[in-house]
Amino acid sequence: MERGTGGVSFLLVLTPFLFLNSTILFGAEWVDPVAIAEQVLIDEDDSVNCVKFCPDKSGEIEQTLIGLIRDSERIQGALYLLSKRSLIDELVAAHKRGIPVDLVFDPSALSAKAIYALPKAGIPLQICVADDFTAKRFAALMHLKCLIFTGALERTIVASGSMNFTNNGLGKNQDQITFTDNPAIVEEYSGRVEQLLASSEVQVQSGVKRKPKKLKKEKNKLGKRSYHTSVRKKFLAKKVVRYVRYVKYVK
C-alpha cells in the first residue's frame, strides 16, 4: 500500500456504517424537514395554529422553519435580527431556486457577519427607514420577528413571536414562536410587511461579498442608533447604577 492511503481506506470502510447506523450515531434518522413541518404544524382539522417555546433543544423549531422555507413559493418577512446560519443558507438556496425572498431588517441586523451571505447570493439587505424609526438618538426599533411562507404546505403560513432568528433565540433564550394559517391574521401580517418593505431602503446591494467599509457612517444616517457598542454599554451602565441606588433607597 502506498504511503498515505490508509486513512482513505478507513473512510471507505466506515462510510456505509455511518449511513446505515445514523440512529445509533446521531440519535435520530434523517428526516425530510418538509415532513417535519407538516407533522408539527398541521392539526386534525387540517389547519395551522400552534405555539412553540424556546429554548428548543430538540431542533424541532429550526427543522420546521427549514421545511417551510423549502416548500414555499414566496418568502417575505420583517426581522429584527437574523444570524442563524442554517436558516440563512436555506433562504439563499430558495433564492437560487427562483423563489422570491423579500426581507426587511432593523439596522441592528447589519452587525451580524452571517447575514452578508444574503447580498452575496443576490438578496439585498433592506433596512426599515420609516419616519417612526429615524429618531436622532435612541431610535425606535423595527422589532418584528415574522416570516410569511406563501404556498408552504399548500397554504400561507405566518411564523411570528418573541423569538429572534439567531442561535440564542432558538437555543438559549426563553422565547416563543407562533405558527398560523388563519386568513385574517395572515392578511394583517402581509399588509404590515408589505408596508415596511415599501418604506425600506436597500442598505447593501446584491452581489456584495463583505461589509462595506463605510457601514458605520451609513448606519448613522439612519438615526445614530443606540446599538453601537460603546453607546449601549454607557446606557446600560447608567441603568444599573440607577437600579442599585433605588434598591438601597427602598431598603
Note whether 206 and 122 are within 8 A (CB). yes
**Number of domains the chain contains:** 1
Closest CA to 162 of 148, 139, 142, 178: 178
Note whether 172 and 187 are within 8 A (CB). no
Query: Is residue 3 in some structural domain?
Result: no
- Tell me the CATH number at 71: 3.30.870.10
pLDDT in tens, 143-170: 999 999 999 999 999 999 999 999 999 9
**Model pTM above 0.85:** no
Query: Could you give the 3-state DSSP secondary structure of residue 148?
Result: strand
Domain that holds residue 158: 32-245
* Residue carrying C-alpha cell 423579500: 102
Query: Is residue 123 in some structural domain?
Result: yes
Report the pLDDT value the prediction gives residue 205, as an integer from 0 to 100. 64
Query: Is residue 67 in some structural domain?
Result: yes
Most confident of 62-66, 112-116, 124-128, 210-214: 62-66
Neighbouring residues of 3: CB distance < 8 A, sequence distance ≥ 6: none
Query: Is residue 7 in some structural domain?
Result: no
Query: Could you give the 3-state DSSP secondary structure of residue 202?
Result: strand
* Distance separating alpha carbons of residues 234 and 44, to the nearest angstrom: 52
Query: Is residue 118 in some structural domain?
Result: yes
Query: Is residue 107 in some structural domain?
Result: yes
